[in-house]
Amino acid sequence: MATGTKIYFASDFHLGAGGYEGSRAREDRLVRWLDMIKADAAEVFLMGDVFDFWFEYKTVVPRGYLRFLGKLAELADSGIKLYLFKGNHDMWMFDYFEQELKATIISDELEIERNGKKFYLHHGDGLGPGDATYKLLKKFFRSRFCQWLFARLHPNLGVGIANYWSQHSRIAGLADKERMFYEQEWLQVFSRELLTQKYFDYLIFGHRHLPLDIQLDDKSRYINLGEWVNYNSYAVFDGEELRLEYFEKIKKF
């Protein structure tokens, strides 16, 4: 059984985006990373957009990702606790990973405390000011009615449509505005407002696609986990301190 003590956080793998070859290369990289951390991990938080598209029919799941899913199963079987967050690309997770991996599925935020440190965790979509159109769409896409409608489509059609959309995912080429950072960035605004109501040592998100470590006040930090097309970035908590790190290739913001 697992004897590790560290906690790992990663987000925005977007498996399936960028065509088969690009996605497979990213999958292999993720498997190497998971293989590296399994020696000292106690918990692994995968914080949304693990897949560029995911929908669970009652008897069918999207094709592919066998090596990645197999490595997750190996970690779970060794006693490492897995958490999977719903992102804006893979919000249609239901009970498949709970059954197969004993993973905990997080629909929105999760507040935890580890070794006296308080964490606020969320994929990051729909938070803060702005993006009113997406916030409305998110409510619809997460509704049982929308999920029921999509489930009526044959998997060849439904998944085919979704995979077509995936080829145009913004993860394949970040626009210049995505590389900008400013104090009014939505997740930083949200984090500062949240801290007026409740204290957290670390507020950790994905979604933004940029690895960021921002000191919000004397103690609290906003961490964005970045993504795995350009950065291979992740965070690790060793029981005392949380660090933003990079796997294999290093490209800092």
133 domain-assigned:
yes
Handedness of CA 115, 101, 55, 33 (dihedral sign): positive
Residue 2 has pLDDT above 80, yes or no: no
- Determine which of 47-56, 177-186, 211-220 has the lowest per-residue pLDDT on average: 177-186
- Where does the chain have alpha helices with state H? 19-37, 66-77, 96-101, 132-141, 144-151, 155-166, 186-195
Rounded CA separation 41/9 (Å): 11
- The tally of domains found in the chain comes to 1
pLDDT of residue 175: 41
Q: Is residue 142 part of a domain?
A: yes
* Residue 95 backbone phi and psi in degrees, to 5: -120, 5
In this prediction the pTM is 0.83
Q: Which tokens belong to 142?
A: 């997460």
> Which range among 26-40, 47-61, 68-82, 108-122 shows the weakest confidence by mean pLDDT?
47-61
Reported as a single tens digit per residue, the pLDDT across 103-153 is 999 888 899 999 999 999 999 876 766 665 655 555 556 667 565 555 556
If we measure between CA atoms, which residue out of 100, 111, 242, 128 comes closest to residue 185? Answer: 128
Q: Nearest to residue 76, comparing CAs of 50, 56, 48, 104? A: 104
Picking from 27-41, 93-107, 167-181, which range would have the lowest pLDDT averaged per residue? 167-181
pLDDT at 69: 93
Domain that holds residue 192: 6-246
Instruction: Decide if 58 is inside a domain.
Output: yes
The two three-digit tokens of residue 238, written as one number: 């060793």
Confidence at residue 137, expressed as pLDDT on a 0 to 100 scale: 58
Position 247 scores a pLDDT of 95
Average pLDDT, the chain: 82
Q: Per the domain annotation, does 252 fall within a domain?
A: no
Residue 253 lies in a domain: no
Query: Taking a C-beta distance cutoff of 8 angstroms, is the pair 209, 12 a contact?
Result: yes
- Residue 167 domain-assigned (yes or no): yes
Residue 130 belongs to domain with CATH number: 3.60.21.10
Nearest residue to 146 via CA among 237, 55, 50 = 55
Q: Residue 211 and residue 189: Cα distance in Å, rounded? A: 17
pLDDT at 74 over 70: yes
Sign of CA dihedral 217, 125, 61, 31: negative
176: pLDDT strictly greater than 60: no
Beta-bridged to residue 203, according to DSSP, are 120, 222
The HSE-up count of residue 70 (CA atoms within 13 Å, CB side) is 8
What confidence tens digit (pLDDT) does each residue in 185-236 have?
A: 788 989 999 999 999 999 999 988 889 999 998 899 999 999 998 899 999 9
